[in-house]
Amino acid sequence: MQESIDGPGPSVVISKEDTRDRIACPENNCSGHLHVNLGDRLAGVRFFCSESRNHNDQFYGQCPTCHKPAADGEEEVLSEMRPKTIDAKHTQPLILEDIVSNDGTGTSLEALYEASEINQADDDTYHWNLDTITPGSQAIFYDTFSLNDVFTVSDVSSVSAVYGYESNVDSRGTDLETHGRLARSFSSSDSDRERTAYLTRREGRGIVFDLRTDVLADVVSNGDAEYEAIAARELTQLNDFDTDEIADGETGLRLTPLLHAYQHALYQAAIEETGLEDFLAAKVLIEEGAIVLVEQRDVGAGGLSQITMNKTGSVLLRTLQRTEEILSDCSRDCTDACLSCVFTDDARCHPFVSREVEGYVPANSLLDRHLAAEVIRRA
Ligand SMILES: [Zn+2]
Ligand SMILES: [Zn+2]
Ligand SMILES: [Zn+2]
Protein backbone atom coordinates (compact mmCIF):
# COMPACT_ATOMS: atom_id res chain seq x y z
CA MET A 1 0.00 0.00 0.00
CA GLN A 2 2.74 2.45 0.88
CA GLU A 3 5.02 1.64 -1.98
CA SER A 4 5.33 3.77 -5.05
CA ILE A 5 6.47 2.91 -8.53
CA ASP A 6 8.08 6.33 -8.80
CA GLY A 7 10.72 7.67 -6.50
CA PRO A 8 12.44 5.99 -3.59
CA GLY A 9 10.44 3.72 -1.31
CA PRO A 10 9.91 4.65 2.31
CA SER A 11 12.57 3.47 4.70
CA VAL A 12 10.47 0.77 6.29
CA VAL A 13 10.75 -2.95 6.63
CA ILE A 14 8.44 -5.21 4.69
CA SER A 15 9.74 -8.48 3.43
CA LYS A 16 8.75 -10.21 0.19
CA GLU A 17 6.99 -12.95 2.18
CA ASP A 18 5.12 -10.53 4.34
CA THR A 19 1.52 -10.70 3.11
CA ARG A 20 -0.02 -9.52 6.35
CA ASP A 21 -1.13 -6.12 5.15
CA ARG A 22 -1.80 -6.80 1.50
CA ILE A 23 -5.12 -6.01 -0.07
CA ALA A 24 -6.07 -8.53 -2.71
CA CYS A 25 -6.79 -7.31 -6.22
CA PRO A 26 -10.60 -7.39 -6.58
CA GLU A 27 -10.51 -8.47 -10.29
CA ASN A 28 -11.87 -11.96 -10.79
CA ASN A 29 -9.29 -14.74 -10.57
CA CYS A 30 -6.38 -12.35 -10.03
CA SER A 31 -3.83 -13.35 -7.41
CA GLY A 32 -2.26 -9.88 -7.32
CA HIS A 33 -2.48 -7.28 -4.63
CA LEU A 34 -2.90 -3.54 -4.74
CA HIS A 35 -0.13 -0.99 -4.76
CA VAL A 36 -0.51 2.76 -4.79
CA ASN A 37 0.84 4.89 -7.58
CA LEU A 38 1.52 8.20 -5.92
CA GLY A 39 2.01 10.02 -9.24
CA ASP A 40 2.98 13.67 -9.05
CA ARG A 41 -0.11 15.19 -7.51
CA LEU A 42 -2.67 14.16 -4.92
CA ALA A 43 -5.57 13.99 -7.38
CA GLY A 44 -3.61 11.51 -9.47
CA VAL A 45 -3.12 8.89 -6.76
CA ARG A 46 -4.32 5.48 -8.03
CA PHE A 47 -4.27 1.84 -7.10
CA PHE A 48 -2.57 -0.58 -9.43
CA CYS A 49 -2.34 -4.35 -9.34
CA SER A 50 0.98 -6.10 -8.67
CA GLU A 51 0.19 -8.78 -11.29
CA SER A 52 -1.40 -7.03 -14.18
CA ARG A 53 -1.00 -3.49 -15.42
CA ASN A 54 -4.42 -3.86 -17.07
CA HIS A 55 -5.98 -3.95 -13.64
CA ASN A 56 -5.35 -0.33 -12.92
CA ASP A 57 -8.31 1.85 -13.86
CA GLN A 58 -10.89 1.64 -11.19
CA PHE A 59 -11.59 -1.02 -8.63
CA TYR A 60 -14.98 -1.79 -7.23
CA GLY A 61 -15.84 -3.54 -4.00
CA GLN A 62 -18.55 -3.99 -1.45
CA CYS A 63 -18.17 -1.08 0.95
CA PRO A 64 -19.92 -1.94 4.23
CA THR A 65 -21.58 1.49 4.27
CA CYS A 66 -22.50 2.34 0.69
CA HIS A 67 -22.89 -1.02 -1.01
CA LYS A 68 -26.41 -1.55 -2.33
CA PRO A 69 -27.28 -5.19 -2.97
CA ALA A 70 -29.53 -6.02 -5.92
CA ALA A 71 -33.19 -5.64 -4.90
CA ASP A 72 -36.59 -5.11 -6.53
CA GLY A 73 -35.21 -5.37 -10.03
CA GLU A 74 -32.55 -2.73 -9.25
CA GLU A 75 -29.02 -3.78 -10.03
CA GLU A 76 -26.37 -4.12 -7.36
CA VAL A 77 -24.39 -0.89 -6.82
CA LEU A 78 -20.73 -1.45 -6.08
CA SER A 79 -18.49 1.19 -4.51
CA GLU A 80 -15.40 2.46 -6.17
CA MET A 81 -12.27 1.78 -4.14
CA ARG A 82 -9.99 4.77 -4.09
CA PRO A 83 -6.78 5.37 -2.19
CA LYS A 84 -7.27 7.79 0.68
CA THR A 85 -4.69 10.37 1.63
CA ILE A 86 -3.47 9.89 5.16
CA ASP A 87 -2.02 12.52 7.42
CA ALA A 88 -0.52 12.37 10.88
CA LYS A 89 -4.01 12.10 12.31
CA HIS A 90 -4.25 8.62 10.83
CA THR A 91 -0.89 7.29 11.89
CA GLN A 92 0.24 6.60 15.39
CA PRO A 93 3.53 5.56 16.87
CA LEU A 94 4.12 2.07 18.22
CA ILE A 95 5.38 2.82 21.71
CA LEU A 96 6.46 0.95 24.80
CA GLU A 97 6.72 2.81 28.07
CA ASP A 98 7.62 1.86 31.57
CA ILE A 99 9.18 2.99 34.79
CA VAL A 100 11.58 0.84 36.74
CA SER A 101 13.19 1.39 40.10
CA ASN A 102 16.88 0.67 39.87
CA ASP A 103 17.04 -0.89 43.32
CA GLY A 104 13.95 -3.04 43.32
CA THR A 105 12.70 -5.56 40.84
CA GLY A 106 10.01 -4.81 38.33
CA THR A 107 7.68 -1.87 38.03
CA SER A 108 4.89 -2.67 40.47
CA LEU A 109 3.91 -0.58 43.46
CA GLU A 110 5.32 -3.35 45.64
CA ALA A 111 8.69 -3.10 43.89
CA LEU A 112 8.69 0.66 44.42
CA TYR A 113 7.95 0.18 48.14
CA GLU A 114 10.79 -2.31 48.32
CA ALA A 115 13.19 0.08 46.59
CA SER A 116 12.20 2.84 49.00
CA GLU A 117 12.95 0.61 52.00
CA ILE A 118 16.35 -0.24 50.56
CA ASN A 119 17.03 3.50 50.09
CA GLN A 120 16.14 4.08 53.73
CA ALA A 121 18.47 1.31 54.90
CA ASP A 122 21.21 2.83 52.73
CA ASP A 123 20.75 6.22 54.42
CA ASP A 124 19.43 8.06 51.38
CA THR A 125 19.68 11.72 52.47
CA TYR A 126 16.36 12.66 50.93
CA HIS A 127 14.43 9.54 51.92
CA TRP A 128 10.87 10.27 53.01
CA ASN A 129 7.69 8.42 53.80
CA LEU A 130 4.63 9.02 55.95
CA ASP A 131 6.28 7.36 58.98
CA THR A 132 8.52 10.42 59.16
CA ILE A 133 5.67 12.58 60.45
CA THR A 134 3.41 12.49 63.51
CA PRO A 135 0.31 10.24 63.57
CA GLY A 136 -1.85 13.38 63.63
CA SER A 137 -0.33 14.65 60.39
CA GLN A 138 -0.47 11.18 58.86
CA ALA A 139 -4.22 11.20 59.42
CA ILE A 140 -4.57 14.31 57.22
CA PHE A 141 -2.94 12.47 54.31
CA TYR A 142 -5.13 9.43 54.89
CA ASP A 143 -8.47 11.10 55.61
CA THR A 144 -8.29 14.29 53.56
CA PHE A 145 -6.29 13.21 50.52
CA SER A 146 -7.16 9.49 50.59
CA LEU A 147 -3.52 8.43 50.58
CA ASN A 148 -2.26 5.24 52.23
CA ASP A 149 1.29 6.50 51.93
CA VAL A 150 3.55 8.88 50.08
CA PHE A 151 7.18 7.83 49.73
CA THR A 152 10.34 8.58 47.82
CA VAL A 153 12.46 6.30 45.64
CA SER A 154 15.98 7.52 44.94
CA ASP A 155 16.51 6.11 41.45
CA VAL A 156 13.69 5.58 39.03
CA SER A 157 14.20 5.17 35.30
CA SER A 158 11.49 6.13 32.89
CA VAL A 159 11.88 4.38 29.59
CA SER A 160 10.13 5.07 26.27
CA ALA A 161 10.74 3.18 23.06
CA VAL A 162 9.27 3.89 19.64
CA TYR A 163 9.62 0.91 17.34
CA GLY A 164 7.46 1.89 14.38
CA TYR A 165 4.12 3.30 13.44
CA GLU A 166 0.77 2.02 12.34
CA SER A 167 -2.36 3.31 10.69
CA ASN A 168 -5.60 3.90 12.51
CA VAL A 169 -7.70 4.39 9.36
CA ASP A 170 -11.07 2.77 9.34
CA SER A 171 -10.80 -0.26 7.11
CA ARG A 172 -13.89 -2.33 7.69
CA GLY A 173 -14.48 -4.94 5.09
CA THR A 174 -10.80 -5.77 4.76
CA ASP A 175 -8.95 -8.54 6.50
CA LEU A 176 -6.50 -6.14 8.13
CA GLU A 177 -6.19 -6.58 11.89
CA THR A 178 -7.21 -3.54 13.95
CA HIS A 179 -4.07 -3.74 16.03
CA GLY A 180 -0.87 -3.34 14.11
CA ARG A 181 -2.78 -2.31 10.99
CA LEU A 182 -0.31 -1.50 8.23
CA ALA A 183 2.37 -1.48 10.88
CA ARG A 184 5.84 -0.51 9.80
CA SER A 185 9.04 -0.72 11.76
CA PHE A 186 12.24 1.19 11.09
CA SER A 187 14.92 -0.47 9.04
CA SER A 188 18.44 -0.48 10.36
CA SER A 189 21.58 0.62 8.53
CA ASP A 190 23.56 -1.79 10.69
CA SER A 191 23.89 -5.08 8.80
CA ASP A 192 23.78 -7.08 12.07
CA ARG A 193 20.39 -5.70 12.96
CA GLU A 194 17.15 -6.03 11.13
CA ARG A 195 15.13 -3.28 12.74
CA THR A 196 15.66 -0.17 14.80
CA ALA A 197 13.84 1.03 17.90
CA TYR A 198 14.44 4.49 19.33
CA LEU A 199 14.76 4.41 23.08
CA THR A 200 15.14 7.04 25.76
CA ARG A 201 15.95 6.19 29.34
CA ARG A 202 15.94 8.90 31.94
CA GLU A 203 16.82 8.64 35.58
CA GLY A 204 15.94 10.64 38.64
CA ARG A 205 14.16 10.61 41.97
CA GLY A 206 10.56 9.57 42.27
CA ILE A 207 7.66 10.26 44.63
CA VAL A 208 4.95 7.62 44.82
CA PHE A 209 1.40 8.47 45.90
CA ASP A 210 -0.35 5.29 47.02
CA LEU A 211 -4.08 6.07 46.92
CA ARG A 212 -6.73 4.35 49.02
CA THR A 213 -8.45 1.93 46.68
CA ASP A 214 -11.54 1.74 48.94
CA VAL A 215 -12.15 5.46 48.36
CA LEU A 216 -11.42 5.20 44.62
CA ALA A 217 -13.89 2.33 44.27
CA ASP A 218 -16.48 4.25 46.26
CA VAL A 219 -16.14 7.35 44.04
CA VAL A 220 -16.34 5.50 40.72
CA SER A 221 -18.94 2.85 41.56
CA ASN A 222 -20.74 4.00 44.73
CA GLY A 223 -19.61 0.81 46.40
CA ASP A 224 -21.12 -1.52 43.79
CA ALA A 225 -17.82 -3.17 42.91
CA GLU A 226 -14.44 -3.98 44.40
CA TYR A 227 -11.50 -1.92 43.28
CA GLU A 228 -9.65 -4.85 41.70
CA ALA A 229 -12.63 -5.75 39.54
CA ILE A 230 -13.15 -2.14 38.41
CA ALA A 231 -9.48 -1.73 37.50
CA ALA A 232 -9.38 -5.03 35.58
CA ARG A 233 -12.56 -4.17 33.67
CA GLU A 234 -11.34 -0.69 32.70
CA LEU A 235 -7.98 -1.98 31.51
CA THR A 236 -9.68 -4.56 29.29
CA GLN A 237 -12.00 -1.89 27.86
CA LEU A 238 -9.20 0.62 27.41
CA ASN A 239 -7.12 -1.85 25.42
CA ASP A 240 -10.10 -2.52 23.13
CA PHE A 241 -10.92 1.08 22.27
CA ASP A 242 -9.44 2.58 19.14
CA THR A 243 -7.74 5.95 19.18
CA ASP A 244 -10.73 7.88 17.79
CA GLU A 245 -13.08 6.52 20.43
CA ILE A 246 -10.67 7.60 23.15
CA ALA A 247 -10.13 11.05 21.61
CA ASP A 248 -13.91 11.57 21.34
CA GLY A 249 -14.16 11.16 25.09
CA GLU A 250 -17.11 8.78 24.99
CA THR A 251 -15.47 5.79 26.61
CA GLY A 252 -17.66 5.60 29.71
CA LEU A 253 -14.53 4.88 31.77
CA ARG A 254 -14.39 6.46 35.23
CA LEU A 255 -11.44 5.16 37.22
CA THR A 256 -8.84 5.82 34.51
CA PRO A 257 -9.89 9.47 33.86
CA LEU A 258 -10.03 10.01 37.64
CA LEU A 259 -6.46 8.77 38.22
CA HIS A 260 -5.16 10.55 35.14
CA ALA A 261 -6.67 13.91 36.19
CA TYR A 262 -5.31 13.51 39.75
CA GLN A 263 -1.93 12.77 38.18
CA HIS A 264 -2.00 15.89 35.97
CA ALA A 265 -2.95 18.11 38.90
CA LEU A 266 -0.20 16.65 41.11
CA TYR A 267 2.29 17.04 38.29
CA GLN A 268 1.35 20.70 37.81
CA ALA A 269 1.38 21.43 41.56
CA ALA A 270 4.84 19.83 41.89
CA ILE A 271 6.19 21.97 39.03
CA GLU A 272 4.82 25.10 40.68
CA GLU A 273 6.26 24.13 44.06
CA THR A 274 9.76 23.40 42.76
CA GLY A 275 9.81 26.31 40.32
CA LEU A 276 11.35 24.07 37.67
CA GLU A 277 9.97 23.42 34.20
CA ASP A 278 10.67 20.41 32.03
CA PHE A 279 12.11 18.10 34.62
CA LEU A 280 9.25 15.82 35.46
CA ALA A 281 7.34 12.85 34.10
CA ALA A 282 4.32 11.16 35.63
CA LYS A 283 2.67 7.76 35.46
CA VAL A 284 -0.46 6.14 36.84
CA LEU A 285 -0.52 2.54 37.98
CA ILE A 286 -4.15 1.63 37.48
CA GLU A 287 -4.24 -1.88 38.94
CA GLU A 288 -2.69 -0.65 42.16
CA GLY A 289 -4.23 2.82 42.35
CA ALA A 290 -1.01 4.80 42.53
CA ILE A 291 0.53 7.87 40.92
CA VAL A 292 4.27 8.27 40.40
CA LEU A 293 6.12 11.52 39.72
CA VAL A 294 9.61 10.96 38.32
CA GLU A 295 12.43 13.38 37.62
CA GLN A 296 13.70 13.12 34.07
CA ARG A 297 17.05 14.71 34.62
CA ASP A 298 19.44 15.22 37.48
CA VAL A 299 18.33 18.35 39.31
CA GLY A 300 20.02 17.46 42.62
CA ALA A 301 18.31 18.83 45.71
CA GLY A 302 16.35 21.33 43.60
CA GLY A 303 13.82 18.86 42.25
CA LEU A 304 11.31 16.59 43.91
CA SER A 305 13.34 16.43 47.11
CA GLN A 306 12.28 20.06 47.76
CA ILE A 307 8.76 18.75 48.25
CA THR A 308 9.70 16.17 50.86
CA MET A 309 12.80 17.85 52.31
CA ASN A 310 10.78 19.31 55.11
CA LYS A 311 10.38 16.72 57.88
CA THR A 312 6.92 17.83 58.99
CA GLY A 313 5.47 17.17 55.53
CA SER A 314 4.08 20.69 55.28
CA VAL A 315 5.49 21.37 51.79
CA LEU A 316 4.00 18.12 50.55
CA LEU A 317 0.70 19.04 52.16
CA ARG A 318 0.79 22.44 50.44
CA THR A 319 1.43 20.63 47.12
CA LEU A 320 -1.61 18.44 47.74
CA GLN A 321 -3.77 21.44 48.62
CA ARG A 322 -2.71 23.09 45.38
CA THR A 323 -3.59 19.83 43.59
CA GLU A 324 -7.06 20.07 45.06
CA GLU A 325 -7.43 23.69 43.86
CA ILE A 326 -6.38 22.77 40.32
CA LEU A 327 -8.97 19.99 40.27
CA SER A 328 -11.89 21.87 41.76
CA ASP A 329 -11.45 25.45 40.52
CA CYS A 330 -11.27 25.77 36.77
CA SER A 331 -11.52 29.38 35.57
CA ARG A 332 -13.61 28.19 32.62
CA ASP A 333 -15.68 25.91 34.81
CA CYS A 334 -15.18 23.11 32.27
CA THR A 335 -17.00 19.75 32.35
CA ASP A 336 -14.08 17.31 32.45
CA ALA A 337 -10.77 18.94 31.70
CA CYS A 338 -9.41 21.87 29.67
CA LEU A 339 -6.40 24.08 29.02
CA SER A 340 -7.25 26.27 32.01
CA CYS A 341 -7.06 23.43 34.52
CA VAL A 342 -5.54 19.99 34.08
CA PHE A 343 -4.32 19.86 30.47
CA THR A 344 -0.58 19.58 30.11
CA ASP A 345 1.86 19.96 27.25
CA ASP A 346 1.01 17.09 24.83
CA ALA A 347 4.59 15.84 24.78
CA ARG A 348 4.49 15.41 28.57
CA CYS A 349 1.36 13.28 28.66
CA HIS A 350 2.40 9.61 28.65
CA PRO A 351 0.42 8.43 31.64
CA PHE A 352 0.40 4.66 31.26
CA VAL A 353 2.89 1.84 31.58
CA SER A 354 2.76 -0.60 28.68
CA ARG A 355 2.17 -3.68 30.82
CA GLU A 356 -1.22 -2.13 31.67
CA VAL A 357 -2.16 -0.14 28.58
CA GLU A 358 -0.79 -1.20 25.23
CA GLY A 359 -0.26 1.19 22.41
CA TYR A 360 -0.95 4.81 21.81
CA VAL A 361 -3.39 6.99 23.75
CA PRO A 362 -3.89 10.58 22.51
CA ALA A 363 -2.42 13.20 24.85
CA ASN A 364 -4.82 14.95 27.24
CA SER A 365 -7.57 12.42 26.68
CA LEU A 366 -9.19 10.40 29.48
CA LEU A 367 -9.25 13.20 32.07
CA ASP A 368 -12.02 13.88 34.58
CA ARG A 369 -11.14 16.53 37.15
CA HIS A 370 -14.50 16.30 38.96
CA LEU A 371 -14.13 12.60 39.74
CA ALA A 372 -10.57 13.23 40.91
CA ALA A 373 -11.73 16.08 43.17
CA GLU A 374 -14.25 13.73 44.78
CA VAL A 375 -11.41 11.58 46.11
CA ILE A 376 -10.29 14.49 48.29
CA ARG A 377 -12.14 15.15 51.56
CA ARG A 378 -14.30 12.09 51.02
CA ALA A 379 -14.01 10.78 54.58
ZN1 LIG B 1 -4.98 -7.84 -10.50
ZN1 LIG C 1 -10.98 23.27 32.98
ZN1 LIG D 1 -1.65 12.81 30.83
Q: How far is the CA of 185 from the centre of ligand 1 (A)?
A: 27
**pLDDT tier at 9, thresholds 50, 70, 90:** very low
Q: How far is the CA of 342 from the centre of ligand 3 (A)?
A: 9
Q: How far is the CA of 34 from the centre of ligand 1 (A)?
A: 7
**pLDDT tier at 85, thresholds 50, 70, 90:** low
Q: How far is the CA of 160 from the centre of ligand 3 (A)?
A: 15
Whether complex ipTM tops 0.85: no
Q: Is 227 helix (H, G, I), strand (E, B) or coil?
A: helix
Are 13 and 184 within 8 A, CB to CB?
Answer: yes
DSSP single-letter state for residue 170: -
**pLDDT tier at 4, thresholds 50, 70, 90:** very low
% of the chain exceeding 90 in pLDDT: 45
Answer whether residue 6 shows pLDDT above 60.
no
Answer whether residue 195 shows pLDDT above 90.
no
Cα distance between the two ends of the chain: 57
Q: How far is the CA of 180 from the centre of ligand 1 (A)?
A: 25
Residues paired with 162 in a beta bridge: 95, 198
**pLDDT tier at 374, thresholds 50, 70, 90:** very high
Nearest listed ligand to the Cα of residue 351? 3
Q: How many helices (H) and strands (E) does the chain have?
A: 9, 11
Q: How far is the CA of 283 from the centre of ligand 3 (A)?
A: 8
Long-range contacts, 46-50 (Cβ 8 Å, 24+) = 46/83, 47/81, 47/82, 47/83, 48/5, 49/25, 50/25
Nearest listed ligand to the Cα of residue 22? 1
Which tens digit of pLDDT belongs to each residue from 94-119? Answer: 888 888 877 656 779 999 999 999 99
pLDDT at 65: 64
Q: How far is the CA of 61 from the centre of ligand 1 (A)?
A: 13
Q: How far does Cα 129 stand from its chain's mean position?
A: 29
Across 269-292, average pLDDT:
94
Q: How far is the CA of 75 from the centre of ligand 2 (A)?
A: 54
Cα–Cα separations (whole angstroms), residue 227 to 307, 328, 377: 29, 24, 19
Instruction: Give 33's contacts (C-beta < 8 A, 6+ positions apart).
Output: 19, 22, 23, 24, 25, 49, 50
Q: How far is the CA of 375 from the centre of ligand 2 (A)?
A: 18
Across 72-86, average pLDDT:
74
Q: How far is the CA of 132 from the centre of ligand 2 (A)?
A: 35
Q: Which H helix or E strand runs over 303?
A: none
Q: Report the distance separating Cα 155 and Cα 106, nearest Å.
A: 13
Mean pLDDT of the chain: 84
Residues near ligand 1 ion, CB 5 Å cutoff: 25, 27, 30, 32, 49, 51-52, 55
Are 45 and 39 within 8 A, CB to CB?
Answer: yes
DSSP single-letter state for residue 106: S
Answer whether residue 72 shows pLDDT above 90.
no
Q: How far is the CA of 88 from the centre of ligand 1 (A)?
A: 30
The string of DSSP letters for 248-299 reads: HT-----HHHHHHHHHHHHHHHHHHHHT-SS-EEEEEETTTTEEEEEESS--
Q: How far is the CA of 267 from the centre of ligand 3 (A)?
A: 9
* Poorest-pLDDT segment among 16-30, 155-169, 290-304: 16-30
Q: How far is the CA of 369 from the centre of ligand 2 (A)?
A: 8
Nearest listed ligand to the Cα of residue 369? 2
**pLDDT tier at 233, thresholds 50, 70, 90:** very high
Are 254 and 220 within 8 A, CB to CB?
Answer: yes
Nearest listed ligand to the Cα of residue 261? 3
Q: How far is the CA of 242 from the centre of ligand 1 (A)?
A: 32
Q: How far is the CA of 322 from the centre of ligand 2 (A)?
A: 15
Answer whether residue 18 shows pLDDT above 90.
no
Nearest listed ligand to the Cα of residue 370? 2
Torsion angles phi and psi, residue 124, rounded to 5: -60, 120
Across 166-195, average pLDDT:
73
Q: Report the distance separating Cα 250 and Cα 293, nearest Å.
A: 28
Q: How far is the CA of 331 from the centre of ligand 2 (A)?
A: 7
**pLDDT tier at 142, thresholds 50, 70, 90:** very high
Answer whether residue 21 shows pLDDT above 70.
no
Q: How far is the CA of 144 from the centre of ligand 3 (A)?
A: 24
Nearest listed ligand to the Cα of residue 284? 3
Q: How far is the CA of 59 from the centre of ligand 1 (A)?
A: 10
Q: How far is the CA of 208 from the centre of ligand 2 (A)?
A: 25
Q: How far is the CA of 44 from the centre of ligand 2 (A)?
A: 45
* Poorest-pLDDT segment among 6-15, 262-271, 322-331: 6-15
Closest CA to 173 of 75, 271, 78: 78
Closest CA to 187 of 176, 179, 195: 195
% of the chain exceeding 70 in pLDDT: 85
Answer whether residue 64 shows pLDDT above 80.
no
**pLDDT tier at 3, thresholds 50, 70, 90:** very low
